[in-house]
């Protein structure tokens, strides 16, 4: 097939904090290096690993239910019924932040460290730290 089909996973690892400085670690499981203090932390969450491994989704080509079978994302999956292939991508986590100026809710992707945000509604600037 010429077009590659991508499907976003239903599950995402929880947001973890550094054990040394309590700032947010980069998303994902395994060994993660803190962007703020440089410490290396091991992130593990057995319920998420089980959910990712057992994730069942319909094949986008024939709607046959396919089980991911691994906790790694992205992963290329082939359907046994129609031999169609597709990619299961990691879920993009977003958090909601309230603007201090107008109390509008903004949805952003969290990143370690401090970010300056500008509200599109009231044009006020403010900082958030993860």
Q: How confident is the model at residue 35 (pLDDT cuts 50, 70, 90)?
A: confident
pTM of the model: 0.77
DSSP-assigned beta bridge partners for residue 114: 129
pLDDT in tens, 106-127: 999 998 888 899 999 999 999 9
Provide the domain count of the chain.
2
Q: What residues make up the domain containing 29?
A: 6-89
Q: How confident is the model at residue 3 (pLDDT cuts 50, 70, 90)?
A: low
State residue 1's pLDDT score. 43
Give domain status of residue 14, yes or no.
yes
- DSSP labels for 3-58? SPPEEE-S--PPP-B-TTT-PBPPSSSEEEE-TTT--EEEE--HHHHHHHHT-EEE
8 contact partners, CB below 8 Å, separation of at least 6? 88, 89, 90, 91, 92
State residue 55's pLDDT score. 96
Q: How many CB atoms lie within 10 A of CB 82?
A: 12
Same domain, 105 and 72: no
pLDDT in tens, 11-30: 999 999 999 998 899 988 99
Same domain, 21 and 64: yes
pLDDT in tens, 61-120: 999 999 999 999 999 999 999 999 999 999 988 999 999 989 899 999 998 888 899 999
Q: How confident is the model at residue 5 (pLDDT cuts 50, 70, 90)?
A: very high
Same domain, 29 and 50: yes
């Amino acid at each position: 097939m010429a077009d590659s089909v991508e499907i976003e996973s239903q599950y995402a690892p929880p947001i973890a904090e550094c054990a040394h400085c309590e700032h947010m670690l980069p998303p994902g499981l395994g060994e993660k290096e803190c962007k703020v203090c440089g410490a290396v932390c091991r992130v593990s969450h057995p319920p998420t690993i089980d959910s990712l491994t057992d994730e069942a989704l319909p094949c986008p080509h024939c709607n046959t239910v396919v089980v991911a079978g691994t906790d790694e994302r992205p992963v290329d999956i082939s359907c046994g019924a129609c031999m169609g292939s597709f990619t299961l991508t990691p879920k993009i986590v977003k958090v909601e932040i309230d603007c201090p100026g107008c109390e509008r809710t903004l949805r952003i992707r969290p990143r370690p460290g401090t970010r300056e945000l500008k509200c599109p509604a009231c044009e006020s600037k403010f900082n958030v730290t993860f």
